[in-house]
Amino acid sequence: MKAKGFAPVLLGLLLLHWCFSSGNATAQSEPPSTDHFTVFLPLVTRASTPPYFGLALATPEADDLRLLEVTWYYNWSEQPLTANTAAFVPMAYDGKIRRLPPDFEGYLLVFNEPNLGAPNGCGLSPAEAARRYARLRQELPNAKLVVGGWSVFASDWIGDFIREFHGSNLPLPEYWHVHAYTEAWITPRVAQDFLTSYHNLTGGTYWITEYGSPAGNLEDFRSMTSWFLSQSWIERIAAYTNRQPADAP
């Protein structure tokens, strides 16, 4: 997670109901509640084709997964919230595993904002990140590693990371994940240009594992969601978040 600008004031829970039909998105809101922090909480229809809608689950509320009808989620750890929820994807937050068995065959998210230090990310140099990725490939030979997790403005870090692969003759991953927030100077177009440039550099299939508008800009959120839908190289997207924790950085 990165530092989010969500105001820590009990203003109510904004529910956005996204209905995708004929390529158009619409949004509806529910009456506000004073029980929760105001955050983006997208309600999306269950998709049968990519991109698959998911959730970066910051607050462990299993009911939210059912309410939102998401097809997958993650929680920055290797352990699911409960057994009877949407498909869970574990994460090796800092590129190290603690619980997964050697014969694990599923998807594994690798790194959370390695270009940023604590408390927002795992804070690794490109060289160390490449070494940890290479070690993971040996420890989990059957896993599908989804690598990256960098924030959208990480061009220098990513360039150095890719050079580490080339320098050590390490094959580039097939799957990548990245965060894509819109902020004061990062308009949807700027974020989209960053993402396109990263894909041109790395190739492969992308997952957007955090996205949203910390300022609460619905039009930015709508624009980014629609753009993700139009990109054949984006397979999954996960909005941040269901409920913003009170102690989040």
* pTM of the predicted protein model: 0.82
What is the pLDDT at residue 30? Answer: 37
What pLDDT shows up at residue 184?
A: 83
* Residue 54 buriedness (CB in 10 A; 0-12 / 13-18 / 19+): buried
Task: Provide block-wise average pLDDT over 10 residues at a time, the chain (249 residues).
Answer: 36 32 37 38 48 90 88 95 85 96 96 92 96 97 97 90 95 97 91 95 97 92 94 96 76
Taken in order of first residue, the domains within the chain and their CATH numbers are 14-240 (3.20.20.80)
Dihedrals phi, psi of 4, to nearest 5 degrees: -110, 145
Handedness of CA 77, 79, 82, 83 (dihedral sign): positive
Complete edge-to-edge strand list for the sheet that includes strand 40-44: 24-26, 14-21, 40-44
CA distance 177 to 210: 9
SS3 49: coil
3-state secondary structure of 53: strand
Cα–Cα distance between 3 and 58 in angstroms, integer?
13
Beta bridge partners of 72: 54, 87
Distance CA 100, CA 225 (A): 32
Backbone angles phi, psi at 221, to 5 degrees: -65, -45
